Amino acid sequence: MFSVIIITKNEASHIGRCLESVSWADEIIVLDSGSTDTTVAICREYTDKVYETDWPGFGIQKQRALDKATGGWVLSIDADEIVTPELRTEIGQAIKLSGYNGFQIPRLSSYCGREIRHGGWWPDYVLRLFRRNAGHFTDSAVHEQVIVQGQTGRLSTPLLHEAFINLDEVLHKVNSYSSLGAKMLSQRGIRSSLCKAIFKALWTFVRTYWLKAAFLDGQQGLMLSISNAEGTYYKYVKLLELQNRQAAPIMSLISVIVTTYNWADALSLCLESLYSQNDMDFEIIIADDGSTLINREKAQTYCLKSPVSIKYIHHEDQGFRAATIRNKAVAQSKGDYLLFIDGDCILRPDFIARHRQLAGAGHFIPGNRILLSPAFTQEVLAQPISLHLKSLPYFIFLRLQNKINRISAFFHLPLGPLRNLQPQKWQKAMTCNLAVWKDDFVQVNGFDELFEGWGFEDSDLVIRLIHAGIKRKEGRFAVSVLHLWHHQNDKSKQDLNYQLLMERLAQPDFICASKGVSQYLE
């Protein structure tokens, strides 16, 4: 008895030709993993042995199909492969030979309508024909293999493989196989970096197109070389992403600390942008540094619309005491990760999600800002304008009119290791856009309340984080805020605060704030 085994998922465009080409077999086993098209219905037209199950990966799935076969010999083929009459004849002759427990078959693959005979694609020998009691599949998630006990031979007639019918299928498989490949590399303990991903991709192109002569296959040879390189690049980039997730402490809730003072209209726009975030796994804590009763009541009205947990922390107005109110807010937070912004800042919908993506163990993340002009700020407040929902062309038009000071901050660049080039830079890290792990914040005792009056309390926090071994990871070209223009704060204590900051900078063993968050923690 001769068995054919096939695994499927959404293969309606291929499976009919595949099954027709093996309809002569004594037994056809189809194992489907949740097709949502007509795959299963087509399969039932050719065999009554169609089974449906979950998806554990290619190797395990093919072993499951093999376990259901009853024939003495088994042919394992994919839904996009075709057995020609000539190959059927050679298979019949081969299994009569004594001494062989398996056979490799050359596979001739087509790419977007053209058979590919170079670039390492031909002859692509695959072990697919074997005695059932002598073979088993590896449990690899992708690029599984048949392990056969005993001697194996080779056939000469090719198995036809419709690898990629069109570019949509190319892109789909590049995405799917790169994800599976990244998981396999991760399980093997292989590490990645952005430079490694780029180098591997370039080498894949050179090897495929030039060294293995894919250029002889014309336009499709070039397309194949590019897609191979793209698949390699994404595999190693996805591996890098897996590394970063594994390296980062587990983060569930983000606590967004919003500092405000007597500007309820600006706060309303800030909160509106927070309410529109793509990632809603965060809480909001308003840190009110002494707003009047009228402004406070107005602001608290805006809080009623919040789709996430929100708290309002207020203390009496005794001058600029942002360090104090932020410490009090942190003491009331429940998140693992702190994200400080000002109440006059507007956030794009992916702001929280991108901060979460950037977060890494032992790092703080300073973002940057885009400043609005005074006149445009009044225009935004008067209408009001939902800036957080505007597209890039809108902001380009604003820049041309000098209504904002830059456009570059809107671009998202995958800087990879370049974000870690200045681990001890403290300049231009401001609490209008600053993220830090709560444990690291508590370790340095938060903001130092000795900094009263405007200036440098955020720089002092960053310097002490660096002294404690917490490194800077640059948030530019990833997380930016739109900052409404306002009159400058009272800077009468700026010089004193700067002098204190320079003293801290010269003391690398100074880590804990003299008067910090610990006084508010239970």
Q: What is the pLDDT of residue 54?
A: 93
Please check the confidence at residue 45 and state whether its pLDDT lies above 80: yes
CA distance 512 to 43: 69
Centre a 10 Å sphere on the Cβ of residue 107 and count the other Cβ atoms it contains: 20
Predicted TM-score (pTM) of the model is: 0.57
Q: How confident is the model at residue 248 (pLDDT cuts 50, 70, 90)?
A: low
Answer whether 452's CB lies under 8 Å from 319's CB: yes
Query: Per the omega criterion (within 30 degrees of 0), is the bond before 508 cis?
Result: no
| Residue 318, burial from CB neighbour count under 10 angstroms (0-12, 13-18, 19+) | exposed
Q: How confident is the model at residue 465 (pLDDT cuts 50, 70, 90)?
A: very high
Q: How confident is the model at residue 112 (pLDDT cuts 50, 70, 90)?
A: very high
Average pLDDT over the chain reads 93
Helix, strand, coil content of the chain in percent (nearest 5): 40, 20, 40
Which tokens in the block code for residue 333? Answer: 């937070």
CA distance 152 to 450: 79
Please check the confidence at residue 487 and state whether its pLDDT lies above 90: no
Centre a 10 Å sphere on the Cβ of residue 279 and count the other Cβ atoms it contains: 15
Please check the confidence at residue 455 and state whether its pLDDT lies above 80: no
Please check the confidence at residue 104 and state whether its pLDDT lies above 80: yes
Q: Pick from 307, 348, 310, 344: which is nearest to 329 by CA?
A: 310
Q: What is the pLDDT of residue 463?
A: 95
Model pLDDT for residues 328-352, shown as the tens digit of each residue: 999 999 999 999 999 999 999 999 9
Kind of pairing between the strands at 146-148 and 102-111: unpaired
Q: How confident is the model at residue 317 (pLDDT cuts 50, 70, 90)?
A: very high
What secondary structure, in 3-state letters, does 133-197 show? HHEEECCCCCCCCEEECCCEEECCCCEEEEEECCHHHHHHHHHHHHHHHHHHHHHCCCCCCHHHH
Q: Of 123-137, 190-204, 425-439, 488-502, where does mean pLDDT reach its minimum? A: 488-502
Please check the confidence at residue 167 and state whether its pLDDT lies above 70: yes
Please check the confidence at residue 249 and state whether its pLDDT lies above 70: no
Question: Position of tokens 């207020």?
Answer: 314
Please check the confidence at residue 439 and state whether its pLDDT lies above 70: yes
